[in-house]
Amino acid sequence: MNDAAPAGDAPMAHVLERGAIDITHGTILYLEDVTVSFDGFRALNRLSLTLDAGELRCVIGPNGAGKTTMMDVITGRTRPDSGRAFLGQTLDLTRMDEPTIARAGIGRKFQKPTVFEQHPVWENLELAMKTDKRWHASLRARLTGAAQCRIEETLAMIGLEREAHKPAGVLSHGQKQRLEIGMLLMQQPALLLLDEPAAGMTDDETMALAALLDRLRGTCSMIVVEHDMEFVAALAGARSRVTVMAEGRVLAEGTLDEVKRDETVIESYLGR
C-alpha cells in the first residue's frame, strides 16, 4: 500500500452516519494482503489491489483464480482471514455487513440476471430506487417528478425505453442484464461490481452492453470480471488498466496489450 493508505482506526459509527466515501487521495478501493482460505485451499493469497475513483477495471484470469472471492470480500459475503479492505479512506469493509456495505455505495451484479419478471420494466427500476425502505415510509411513498425523471433517464441509458411497460420476464437475456444494471444504477452506487455480465449473450447483445458500460465510465467506479476477451477489448481500449489474477493473487497489471504480451500471463491463462 502507498502513503495514501487509509487509516484503520476511524470511528466506524461516525463514518457510517456521515455516509460519504472519502476519496481525497483519488482512490476508492484498497485491498491489501487479503487472504481467504477454504478448508486449507487459499482462494486469495495476499491479494493487493487498488481502484481509482471513476475507473473502469477489467479483471481476467482462469477459473479458480479468486475473482469471485475477491468480490465476496468487497461486498461482505466472505470475511478475510487476514489483510485489509477499505472503501475510500475510512470505510473498513471487514467490519461491515452486506446491507451496510450496499448502503455505503457498493452495488453488485451476479452472472445470472435477477429481475422482478412479473412487473413491468419501469416498476423494476422504481422498486430498486434508493429510498427509505422501511414499511411506514413505503406506505406513504409517492413517485416525485424528480424520481420519474431519474427512471426515464435510466431507461434511456440502458436502452429500454420501448420496453418500459412490458413485463421484465419477456425481455431477452441481454435486455435483462441491462435492466439489472439499471436497477443497480437507481441505487446510485459509487462502486459497481459486475461478474461476467456478457455470459450467454449474443454478439450484438455483448457489444450493446460494452457500449452501456462505456457510457457509464466516470459516473461511478466499476470492476468487471469477464472471460470474453472481445468484450474486455471493447471495454479496456488502449489505455484502461486490466488486472490478471491467478492462484488468488495479482499476476499482472497494465493495458490489455501489455498483459497479453506478459510471459507469465501467456503461460498461466492465455496460452500460446
Instruction: Identify the residue with better confidence: 140 or 173.
Output: 173
How far is it, in rounded angstroms, from Cα 194 to Cα 70? 12
pTM: 0.86
Task: Identify each DSSP E strand in the chain by its residue range.
Answer: 27-38, 41-52, 56-60, 82-87, 91-92, 106-109, 191-195, 221-225, 242-246, 249-254
Is the four-CA dihedral 169, 171, 177, 181 of positive or negative sign? negative
Q: Which residues pair with 161 in a beta bridge?
A: none
Q: Is the pLDDT of residue 132 over 60?
A: no
Is the four-CA dihedral 224, 229, 235, 241 of positive or negative sign? positive
Q: Is the pLDDT of residue 7 over 90?
A: no
Say what the pLDDT of residue 11 is.
Answer: 44
Give me the mean pLDDT over the 182-194 stretch.
Answer: 95
Listed in sequence order, the DSSP H helices in 76-225 are 98-104, 121-128, 135-140, 145-158, 173-186, 203-216
Say what the pLDDT of residue 271 is.
Answer: 61
* Matching residue, cell 479483471: 59
How far is it, in rounded angstroms, from Cα 38 to Cα 35? 10
